[in-house]
Amino acid sequence: MDKIFKLDIKIIFMIFVILDIFCVGLGMGVPIFCILFGFLIGWYNTKRVIANSNQGKVNFILKKTLRYALVTSIFTFLVMAILWGRTIPMFFNPNTDFVNLGIPFILYEPKISFIGWLFLMIFISPFLQLLTTIFVSYLTLLKWSKNSKTIE
């Protein structure tokens, strides 16, 4: 089991890229599975940092896991910006029919609802993935610190 935590970081990142793009495709452009994937990322990041560091310092582990969580969230942000950003020029076309785009409109005006949808897809979803990753990292570190005798 420790073998998967000792892999090269470049290989791990490539596996993450493939799985993250798969999660985006599984959600058909809606990153709900990317947000749920954040739970697995948080667990793995913390276990990897704990297994590869000879230091048992919680401060060091927290900094590394936060850095990894930010990198994964930024990648998801870039994927969402590429995927949904191409629809931004639709705002400048007066003939765009926002009603028939196939997304849920919960606000009064369809154009404003579409702006809210894009904001949710591009900005909020990667942030939620960041939050789930940090949450599970914290829980994993909490469990590790209970089992560990040396806590600094």
pLDDT value for 76: 96
- Residues 81-130: pLDDT tens digits? 999 999 899 888 888 888 877 777 777 788 888 888 999 999 999 999 99
Non-local (6+) Cβ contacts of 19 within 8 A are 37
52, part of any domain: yes
Domain count within the chain? 1
134, part of any domain: yes
152, part of any domain: no
Q: Are 29 and 84 in contact (CB under 8 A)?
A: yes
Two tokens, residue 88: 């931004």
Domain, as residue range, for 67 = 2-147
